[in-house]
Structure 1
């Protein structure tokens, strides 16, 4: 049953896989995390996050990112790394 639920989510929310992949890249590159942390506000953070992902061939929309942020603020669907969530808490 869990396997079916995971498959359903992967098919209905393909952006999750992309965001998780980018999260792994971020965690492996402190310079990218520092660049994100230097963003002064919500808009700059979102723009930088999307641009960094796109530069690495990873694509998801602003809306997808906002869905993930909102869900994680509610304690659901941990898609974004905790370090990113801490940055988000300061800006959103």
Structure 2
């Protein structure tokens, strides 16, 4: 994760796909658009599906909201990005 001027805070960006809480990843149309924003940036920076999963795990460790099944959330993240970002 990088932070600072001109750099991307990947964990914060992927958090949009969870509605910046613990909502199911990219299910609501607004959350899906936020996940696409992450995807667009990830493509520019050459990230992989594993990078997205790592960012999602980091996000979920500190996210506030209703209790969530993190394993299920990670499966949603993998499914969303598989075929759209390179595999490792």
TM-score normalized by the length of structure 2? 0.38
- Higher-Rg member (1/2): 1
Which of the pair is proportionally richer in helix? 1
